[in-house]
Amino acid sequence: MLSITPDTVALGAARKGVITAGFSPVADDARAINGTVGDITSADPRMTARNVNVYYGDKLAINNVSLDIGVNEVIAMIGPSGCGKSTFLRCLNRMNDTIDICRVEGEIRLDDQDIYDSGLDVVPLRAQVGMVFQKPNPFPKSIYDNVAYGPRIHGLTSNKNDLDEVVEQALLKAGLWDEVKDRLDEVGTGLSGGQQQRLCIARTIAVAPEVILMDEPCSALDPIATARIEELIDELREQYTIAIVTHSMQQAARVSQRTAYFHLGELVEVGKTDDIFTTPRHRLTEDYITGRFG
């Protein structure tokens, strides 16, 4: 595991300098490291990623990314396709472990615990850092069993009444309870796309995670279902830390407090969402959000 020393920072910046020769940052920031423009840190970080490199085989997919994810905030990750934002998100709960050829370097901490420490078990980690995927993927089980899946495998409840309570609370928080409370026995795959995605969110929050990672959660949904999910994300911010990858800049602007712009595996710019969308400082960010490419 790497830790941050002035040397590695300098090395990263030097390498960055080669790659970003054509880029022209509008301004420089005192606290920017690794060539990222803007403030990568958060006042109250839940997760901290430092100098993360990800390789698929020999190919470098993420180059030296450092980023904090703060408590009770929504951070949006935007960027053109293939820029590594989903890969970075999947590092945060070690879902990349399921890909044989994927290799992660660097340091990622959850509440001061190194999640890539060899002594750490991924099972409790993934319970703490839940994930919602691009395509709604409810199990072909009943709505109740979908939500109860996590609490059951983690043994969170000791009797049926507690489990009922957990399921109801999760569905309430996901804003789905009123629509499904009379048909909890029906198959989850029979719901509409937007309901399925909210069911998946309920399934994730039923295990009481600290962080929820969302990988383009609305890309398979219609605008009305998307609006419902966005409202939900805003409500969930009160209790959870949320990182969301999205292709829609409007969505990033609507739901997030901070925005990170990725480009070709590098974190180009991070900042308050309002600042990023009104006064981007890096030319690449500006080009992307003004729609000149992407």
Partner 1 sequence: MSNTLLILILLGLMALAYRLGMRRSQRLVGGPGGVRDLHSLPSYYGFFTAIWCGLPALLVLFLWVSLQSGVIRDLVIADLPEAVRTLPPAQLGLVINDIQNLAQGNIVSGEVSLEMERAAAHYQRLRQTSFAASVVVVLSLALLGLSVGWRLVSPKFRARNRVESVIKWLLVGCSTIAIFTTLGIVLSVLFESIRFFEMVPIGEFLFGLDWSPQMAIREDQVGSSGAFGVIPLFAGTLLIALIAMLVAVPIGLMSAIYLSEYAGARFRAWAKPLLEILAGIPTVVYGFFAALTVAPFIRDNGALLGLDVSSESALAAGLVMGIMIIPFISSLSDDVINAVPQSMRDASLGIGATHSETVRKVILPAALPGIVGGILLAVSRAIGETMIVVMAAGLSANLTANPLQSVTTVTVQIVTLLVGDQEFDSPKTLAAFALGLLLFLITLVLNVVALHVVRKYREAYE
List residues binding partner 1 (CB under 8 A): 93, 95, 98, 100, 122-127, 130-131, 133, 135, 137-141, 149-150, 153-154, 200, 203-204, 207
Least Cβ distance, residue 196 to partner 1 (angstroms) = 11
Q: Could you give the CA distance from residue 81 to residue 33 in angstroms, rounded to a whole number? A: 24
Nearer to partner 1, 96 or 273 (CB): 96
In DSSP terms, which residues pair with 263 in a beta bridge? 266
What is the nearest approach in angstroms of partner 1 to the Cβ of residue 255?
A: 20
Q: Closer CB to partner 1, residue 24 or residue 118?
A: 118
Provide the minimum distance between the beta carbon of 201 and partner 1 in the complex, in angstroms, as a whole number: 12
Which residue lies nearer to partner 1 by CB, 17 or 140? 140
Least distance from C-beta 155 to partner 1, angstroms? 11
| Least distance CB 190 / partner 1 (angstroms) | 11
Shortest distance in whole angstroms from residue 25 CB to partner 1? 36
Whose Cβ is closer to partner 1: residue 153's or residue 172's? 153
- Tell which residue, 126, 132, 128, has the closest CA to residue 243: 132
Sequence-separated contacts (24+) of 143-147 with Cβ below 8 Å: 143/171, 143/180, 143/183, 143/184, 143/185, 143/186, 143/187, 143/188, 143/191, 143/199, 144/184, 144/185, 145/188, 146/188, 146/199, 146/202, 146/203, 147/171, 147/199, 147/202, 147/203, 147/206
- CB contact set of 239 (below 8 Å; sequence gap of 6+): 72, 173
**Nearest CB to partner 1, comparing residues 103 and 272:** 103
Residue 53 or 128 having the CB closest to partner 1: 128
CA distances to 33, 166, 177, 219, 234 from 183, in Å: 52, 17, 10, 27, 27
